[in-house]
Chains A and B, each alone.
Chain A
Amino acid sequence: MEKILQVKNLELSFNTQGGEVKAIRGVNFDLNKGETLAIVGESGSGKSVTTKSIMRLLPESSAEFKNGEILFGGRDLTKLSDKEMQKIRGKEISMIFQDPMTSLNPTMPIGRQLTEPLLKHQKISKNEAKKVAIDLLRMVGMPKPELRMKQYPHQFSGGQRQRIVIAISLACNPKILIADEPTTALDVTIQAQILELMKDLQKKIDTSIIFITHDLGVVANVADRVAVMYGGKIVEIGTVDEIFYNPQHPYTWGLLSSMPSLDTEDAKLYAIPGTPPDLLDPPKGDAFALRSEYALKIDMEQNPPFFKVSDTHSAATWLLHPDAPQVEPPLTVIERMKKFPGSRYYEGGAV
């Protein structure tokens, strides 16, 4: 499979008045052509920062690459000048943001906002750009696109605005689309529509998607692979089935247990205890150890390396070390693992 983007050992810090906040502490992942990679994790885990650093959208005054590289098309994005980045942004990599209500310029007709990347990156006339923009609006399911080109963002609903943002991001057929919680601010029915739209469009223009979310239901719906982030690191990465049905990291267990499902009998929803680590002074060992009931002594002292579970699946937890004691995952997770061929609780059947 063709690797379109490689993030290697990426470390990034914010220089703040309180000190250096180590927001990303060694992140590795590849993005394959045409796939959807979901990055999940709680607030502050570094998922947005990771993707914003790929786009280089973080404030240059405070955000600083400490180590690692982001390889795209043979170039290291961390080293490019802002001028060179401008040619990549919107053309080869584009982005959709969380809140459609605020991500469009309120004083500019949406037609102009749509044609802007076209005029910027492609050598076409204003009239041609307008035609393309109208086609884009039609493609994202906007009725009467010709009439709506002259309208302003406030004349559209939230779902429609997100469709417009998607149209803008796809204007130049980007190789990578980064979607930073694109459905979080929308209500559930609109969420489903937008997700369907994104899946359709991905097939049409053959783009790879990095999908950031903390909604595991959405992940199951859209993703091919999943990376779980915690405390500025990826703690587990694998295919969507591997993450949902054969999770290995205690944090992934916690995430899955705290997902409401239709067949849970408990009235009370599980919540992971404690708070995320302070990245001003990150813990020495496994960042999740302090909140984990499965923590081993070594977790407090040494950062776990990645252990391979399968060719596509690895997790950073000492529990996978051959010398580690066997622990029982939470019951809801065991229930899931029973359906996964290859897991130690497999009881037959298929996922």
Chain B
Amino acid sequence: MGKYIGKRLIYMVITLALIATFTFFLMNVLPGSPIASADKLTPDQRAVVEARYGLDKPLPVQYFDYMFGLVQGDLGISINQFKGADVTDVILSRMGPSAQIGFQGMLIGTVLGILLGMVAALRQNTWMDYTSTFIAIVGISIPSFVFASLLQYWFGLKWELFPVALWKDGFMSSVLPSIALAMFPLATAARFIRTEMIEVLGSDYITLAKAKGASGSEIAFKHAFRNALIPLITVLGPMAVSILTGSLVVEQIFAIPGIGEQFVKSIMVSDFSIIMGTTIFFSVFLIVIILLVDILYGVIDPRIRLSGGKS
């Protein structure tokens, strides 16, 4: 196990280095420059600013400078969005709201999704099944920004249950964005659990469990559930991605001062170091989630338990 994780960590570093490299060069290919908007500057002033951020050096030198800093954990300083603030501080200060709505969204989504899927499978071909399937289809087909606007309109504007936008009322402000983010994982989990439960419930070991005298709930929760979870874990990774990308949009719509909102703005103003920093932060997050998912596999399914020696 330890050996396996060690190996995975090395791969993670390589992946990160590649992502950083690609992003760095792609970003520089994009039209616009962090200080292009400051066209009121004289060429001399401009040169001073460029020198301050190392933008006057040739691109390869800039790249190696950046990578050298990255290895030491230095993500550089913001060029124009936050005027010289340390990128790490910017990201950390913005992380709170994003993490909160992301975590809440994921939690609501998976828990409700699993419940819906279970109910649908156990009451197959009844109105409960059809309702759950309908919710799943709606959740997958409606993009999160459309859903977010609907939530704002009904729950915020019409019924005034929750604030329409902004991050001012603590938990209450987080409810609507969390629900908006939860829809996709909810729908995905419901669909996966339903299909998988139906298949598992038809398998021989469930018949054997019945033949042992197990009751309906024992069969569903003790025997079937764990086996039905395995494929869901596979999609947990992609679901985390959807929460991330979803949050880019949802944070914009609800005007939440999170990483997503800040990321979008930094692209608009070509704040190179913020773009780089946020990309790397997202990548680390994703890669860690994928590793966790792989480890979780082994916890749930003994057949894929990871043995460092053999694999």
Q: Which residue numbers of A lie inside 8 Å of B, CB to CB?
A: 55, 57, 82-83, 86-91, 94-95, 97, 99, 102-109, 116-117, 120-121, 152, 154, 165, 168-169
Contacts and interface: CB of A to CB of B under 8 A. Distances in A.
A176 to B, nearest CB: 12
A94 B213 CA distance: 9
B215 A86 contact: yes
A59 B41 CA distance: 80
A155 B210 CA distance: 23
Contacts of A97: 204, 207-208, 211
Nearest to B304: A154
A168 B226 CA distance: 21
B265 interface: no
A109 B226 CA distance: 13
A86 B214 contact: yes
Contact of A104 (B208, B215, B226): B208
A91 B213 contact: yes
B302 A106 contact: yes
B212 interface: yes
B280 to A, nearest CB: 37
Contact of B207 (A57, A88, A121): A57
B303 interface: yes
Q: Interface on chain A toward B: helix, strand, loop, or mixed SS?
A: mixed
Given A106-B302, A108-B223, A89 B205 contact: no
Contacts of B212: 89-90, 94, 116-117, 120, 168
29 contacts: A57-B211, A86-B214, A86-B215, A87-B213, A89-B213, A90-B212, A90-B213, A90-B214, A94-B211, A95-B208, A97-B207, A103-B205, A104-B208, A105-B205, A105-B208, A105-B223, A106-B301, A106-B302, A106-B303, A107-B301, A108-B226, A116-B209, A116-B214, A117-B212, A120-B212, A121-B213, A152-B302, A168-B208, A168-B212
Given A91-B213, A105-B205, A106-B227, 20 more contacts: A57-B211, A86-B214, A86-B215, A90-B212, A90-B213, A94-B211, A94-B212, A95-B208, A97-B208, A97-B211, A99-B204, A103-B208, A105-B208, A106-B205, A107-B227, A116-B214, A117-B212, A120-B213, A120-B214, A154-B302
B126 to A, nearest CB: 10
B300 interface: yes
Nearest to B202: A59
B305 to A, nearest CB: 9
Contacts of A108: 222-223, 226
Interface of B: 203-205, 207-216, 222-223, 226-227, 300-303
Contacts of B215: 83, 86
A88 B302 CA distance: 32
B300 A57 contact: no
Nearest to B215: A86
Contacts of A87: 213
A117 B223 CA distance: 13
A104 to B, nearest CB: 6
A97 B215 CA distance: 19
Contact of B205 (A94, A104, A120): A104
A117 B303 CA distance: 24
B303 to A, nearest CB: 5
Contacts of A82: 216
Q: Which 9 A-B pairs have the closest CB atoms?
A: A90-B213, A90-B212, A102-B204, A152-B302, A89-B213, A95-B211, A103-B204, A117-B212, A105-B205
Nearest to B301: A107
B213 A88 contact: yes
A82 B217 CA distance: 13
Contacts of B203: 102
A108 B224 CA distance: 11
A154 B215 CA distance: 25
B93 to A, nearest CB: 43
Contacts of A99: 204
A107 B302 contact: yes
B127 to A, nearest CB: 15
A330 to B, nearest CB: 38
Contact of A102 (B205, B216, B302): B205
A333 to B, nearest CB: 37
A154 B211 contact: no
Contacts of A55: 211
Contacts of B208: 95, 97, 103-105, 165, 168
A106 B224 CA distance: 10
A92 to B, nearest CB: 9
Nearest to B205: A105
A102 B203 CA distance: 8
A154 B303 contact: yes
Contacts of A102: 203-205
A104 B303 CA distance: 13
Contact of A57 (B210, B222, B227, B303): B210
A321 to B, nearest CB: 41
A120 B213 CA distance: 8
Nearest to B211: A95
Contacts of A57: 207, 210-211
